[in-house]
């Protein structure tokens, strides 16, 4: 039909939309997910676990790293859970406890304490990725991996600008020290 736009036409129009950088990590995650899931079709029996996106050089999260993109790996994990679920993939929450954990200020059912995790169901695919930091942001490489065969069944790459989390500051504190950023001029 000549009057209907294809999904790829819609994606191209969305990618060309002019959006301010600040606060649009969701938009970049959405576009990354479009590329990652473009050739995959959800199967009702397949279970997907979305795990952290880590710096490619260390393959682990560094809590001492204080640059503006330090939380990008965690945000990508959470964003990909949303994007996979919206697209009909069965995302498994492997950080679920067996009970509600009552705290002084909040109640929760998620944990990173291995001893408190509930039994994990069978996982068929992992969704994960790496982050390559660059001067003006980070290149994110996402992949879907078959848990049994280790085969990469889908992959995508997208640049995430540094300004997604906050605009450049003139004065900031990091690790208890005060820093002032000079204007180039």
Which domain range does residue 140 map to? 23-162+169-180
Task: Output the domain CATH number for residue 74.
Answer: 3.40.50.10610
Rounded to two decimals, the pTM is 0.72
pLDDT per position in the chain (185 positions), as tens? 444 444 444 444 455 555 544 458 889 999 999 999 999 999 889 999 999 898 888 888 777 765 656 688 889 999 999 999 999 999 988 777 878 878 888 888 877 776 776 777 788 999 999 999 887 889 999 999 999 999 999 999 999 987 776 555 555 566 677 666 665 55
Do the domain assignments include residue 126? yes
Do the domain assignments include residue 6? no
Q: What are the C-alpha distances in Å from 5 to residues 1, 2, 15, 88?
A: 9, 8, 15, 22
Do the domain assignments include residue 81? yes
Do the domain assignments include residue 35? yes
Do the domain assignments include residue 108? yes
Number of domains the chain is built from: 1
What's the confidence (pLDDT) of residue 22? 44
Instruction: Give the CA count within 13 Å in the CB-facing half-sphere of 158.
Output: 23
Do the domain assignments include residue 1? no
């Amino acid at each position: 039909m000549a009057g209907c736009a294809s999904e790829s036409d819609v994606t191209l129009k969305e990618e060309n939309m002019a959006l301010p950088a600040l606060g649009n990590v969701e938009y970049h995650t959405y576009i990354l997910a479009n590329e990652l899931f473009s050739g995959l079709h959800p199967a009702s029996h397949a279970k997907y676990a979305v795990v952290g996106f880590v710096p490619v050089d260390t393959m682990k999260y560094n809590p001492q790293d204080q640059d503006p993109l330090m939380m990008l790996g965690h945000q990508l994990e959470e964003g990909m859970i949303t994007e996979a679920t919206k697209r009909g993939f069965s995302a498994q929450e492997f950080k679920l406890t067996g009970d509600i954990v009552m705290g002084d200020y909040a109640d929760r059912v998620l944990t990173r304490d291995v001893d408190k995790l509930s039994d994990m169901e069978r996982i068929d695919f992992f969704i994960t990725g790496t982050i390559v930091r660059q001067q003006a942001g980070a290149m994110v490489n996402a992949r879907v991996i078959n848990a049994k065969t280790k085969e990469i069944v889908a992959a995508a790459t997208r640049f995430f600008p540094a300004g997604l989390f906050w605009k450049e500051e003139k004065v900031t504190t990091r690790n208890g020290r005060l820093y002032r950023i000079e204007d180039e001029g």
